[in-house]
Structure 1
Amino acid sequence: MARRWFFLSPLAGLLLAACSASGPAVADGARRLPPPRLDPAPAQPGEQVAVFAGGCFWGVEAVFDHVEGVREAWSGYAGGSADTASYERVSDGDTGHAESVKVAYDPRKVSYGKLLEVFFSVAHDPTQLDRQGPDVGNQYRSVIFYTTPQQAQVARAYIAQLAAARVFDAPIVTQVVPLRGFYMAEAYHQDFAAQHPGNPYIAYNDAPKVAHLKQWLPALYRPQTQIVPVQLH
């Protein structure tokens, strides 16, 4: 298991930020996928919340910040307890947390199924077990944290659909588990890719994900993101 760079301060993060110190990055596994066959409207009207984990949260957040219909996406931690929900502790890889992204979206503009299509096609590689590209460890595992039984049903149906179609060269290892709690990451992690596009890690690992979203799912792509001040609570 690799331990990532630990930011001693936000300034250090701006100068030396990298989600991993584990070695060179590898090519992402992005690919065009069929849309989910099961994609019903949510049972309750109004804004919905989805939570995804797929490697370093910088890139996953960057992708969803560019999805039309998403009001905001936040980096954070899910899967563990509140007392270990910090960058330093989660980086040890033994807290049960996965680096995660909370997505607030308008289902009138983008469905949960479409968010799943984005997650599986461009946001990460769902065949990588306890890692994502250069980032190695349980905290980088692929997880869908569902907030309603309907989300769980749609997610499992889509995984089964993709597995049956054999669109990936290896089995999908994405977990589908209930969301017990989401804990916001430190302020300097929020909108990191948007604020630091020249960071080498972002340019090599995460910018291509947003480019694939624009190329393959143009109807969902939003060209500019709005950086919203983060309120940590």
Structure 2
Amino acid sequence: MTRFTPFAALLVVGAAVFAFRSPSAASDLAVRAPAAALAEPIVGNRETAIFAGGCFWGVQGVFSHVKGVVSTTAGYTGGKASTAEYETVSTGTTGHAESVKVVFDPHQVNYADLLRIYFSVITDPTELNRQGPDEGTQYRSALFPQSATQAKVARAYISQLTAARTYSAPIVTRLETSQGFFAAEGYHQNFLARNPDYPYIVINDRPKVDALHRIFPQSWRA
């Protein structure tokens, strides 16, 4: 995403932001991935998953509209607590990925369902260490399974998508071991919902939310 300080965040409206790509082009990236053949059994009333798929504004914005999602938190995963700070993570040298912690009710939506949404409208799994206009390892497409079962489901789903040739290029989404999830600064939380007309959001992230509504209406929550 465009780098900014909390004080300058809403002032960045330059031509470079608009040059990233048009809303129609961003929307065209959506792919209706097949339902996962393998899903984990339901255990308990709450489960946590961590997803990284580019700028966490859009990842959080989409998942916050999914039925069964209880809460979403933007943050950093894959590095140390001492470097889990926006300006430092933005250097691409900390090992962190911008990520979103999703707490969900498995009786309403399971991990396999969230993976399907993630691979369909949130991330382009064929882009290595970038997403759309954002470049660097901090914007990588990565999954951080929170259990052995989640890891099994995620691996099986990636294999399923690969065998089905869902994408025109190889899937580079990584499965990584989490070193801890560190919540991002307050001004990043629910950024899409609080700033729906921010140029970056209009161009890159609102089309993803629209794609969720269009492709998965049964999963949509206003």
TM-score calculated relative to the size of structure 2: 0.93
Counterpart code for 1:35: A
Q: Aligned residue for 1:230?
A: none
Following superposition, the deviation at residue 46 of structure 1 comes to: 2.2
Q: Aligned residue for 2:34?
A: 34
Mapping of residues 25-64 of structure 1, within 5 Å:
25=21, 27-28=25-26, 29-42=29-42, 44-64=43-63
Q: Aligned residue for 1:6?
A: 4
- Work out the CA distance in 2 between the residues paired with 1:222 and 1:22: 29
Q: Aligned residue for 1:219?
A: 218
Q: Aligned residue for 2:128?
A: 129
Q: Aligned residue for 2:11?
A: 15
Mapping of residues 180-195 of structure 1, within 5 Å:
180-195=179-194
- Work out the CA distance in 1 between the residues paired with 2:18 and 2:147: 36
- Work out the CA distance in 1 between the residues paired with 2:10 and 2:17: 16
Say whether the 8 Å CA contact 2:20–2:203 is kept in structure 1.
no
Q: How many residues align?
A: 217
Q: Aligned residue for 1:179?
A: 178
- Work out the CA distance in 2 between the residues paired with 1:183 and 1:33: 30
Name stretches of at least 5 consecutive residues in structure 2 with no aligned partner.
none
Following superposition, the deviation at residue 17 of structure 1 comes to: 7.3
- Work out the CA distance in 2 between the residues paired with 1:71 and 1:164: 33
Structure 2 CA distance for partners of 1:207 and 1:157, relative to 1, 3 Å: same
Following superposition, the deviation at residue 165 of structure 1 comes to: 0.2
Name stretches of at least 5 consecutive residues in structure 1 with no aligned partner.
224-233
Following superposition, the deviation at residue 53 of structure 1 comes to: 0.2
Say whether the 8 Å CA contact 1:120–1:126 is kept in structure 2.
yes
Counterpart code for 2:4: F
Following superposition, the deviation at residue 124 of structure 1 comes to: 1.2
Q: SS in structure 1 opposite 2:176?
A: strand
TM-score calculated relative to the size of structure 1: 0.89
- Work out the CA distance in 2 between the residues paired with 1:48 and 1:17: 38
Structure 2 CA distance for partners of 1:135 and 1:23, relative to 1, 3 Å: farther
Mapped pair 1:24 → 2:23: no
Following superposition, the deviation at residue 16 of structure 1 comes to: 1.9
